[in-house]
A and B are shown apart, each in its own frame.
Chain A
């Protein structure tokens, strides 16, 4: 018999090879999904714009003057200029950073928390389950936008507060999802097998149960990101998001409201940006769901 380490090494290598192969196959299946590819394109464009906002912009986003205010889209100002003569295209480009930041914070804050609570609740059952599920139900029953509004009203405007408020209302669906998956696999044979082999509960939950939930969680994350963008833009529109002169898209739409009748581009362009990005995440979510959860009777 080979030594223990060599056996492990061989297994690990073949495991990684298998994973690589699976990833490649997944990619081939994803490629055949036209809407999904469009979504991926949009999100890639978003990330690239956020990273390379400065070289991609034509003007500085905060530079103000009163000479060229409210110019229509044209050669110098690709998407027009606003009332302080700032180039709207450049501001949208720089706004991608804010959008990405909010989305990232919300996902990082809400998904792991929800996952953790859901798996613990499903795995241990009994009173832990009951109490955690009641708490989840309370948060689920509360309208998201209202709660985010109330939290931001209390904490004050600003980008971090917006992200935290949205995250606080976004975690329950993950908990529900994780709990459902955990309940399904909790008593399956392979879990019992590793339990008999002496694996601790932590190991079982973290390394074996959580990966089973990941596919539904990823699908959910994609849809959540699109909703987060809409809620954040809505909060920015009311004036509770990042304050001026931050190029937050919702706030830009609100600022352009006064000129909607004649200089429509000030409001329209940022709105289109919000729409396109949200659509991109929805497309991705649709495609991922078709690929990852063929058995789920989710919405279409």
Chain B
């Protein structure tokens, strides 16, 4: 952008809060992606300390979310778009929360997964990374003329795969003997938090679609 354009923008519109919001949303999705990647890495290495470092990413995500919402409240974007953008950001944050819940379940409560369940969880973790990547691509579609529907469809397909694995895991777990209530609950919560990430990202992608059509 030329110097004169920047000056014109600043004098007339008082700066560019929209760009700040866009940069922060990118950062927020990147945090979600990093959390999913870290989760898979920690699960692969059986590294509980690494797994618990996801909580730092969650805190970072919270800070970014608050900044986005306050920028929007201060007047970024047209009022017609604001509620959908806010909701999108909140949903992404819920996904980060969900991966954090799974990470705490694994890292803090000494959860031991048997080999087949661990492999299934790794497949889910891998799919979560792919869905995050696709969400990031879908968000970038809002800057281009590309079709957002294709990206949403890919996200839905990934989510369906996660669902299939989830039912497989649940089927296997039903046959596993559980020695005490809390071990069972922690394992169950771990699986639901891990599989919920893809569900939430699918919701986020639906909201992106709403944002995209709202001004047309």
Q: Determine if chain A interacts with chain B.
A: no
Chain B residues within CB distance 8 Å of chain A: none
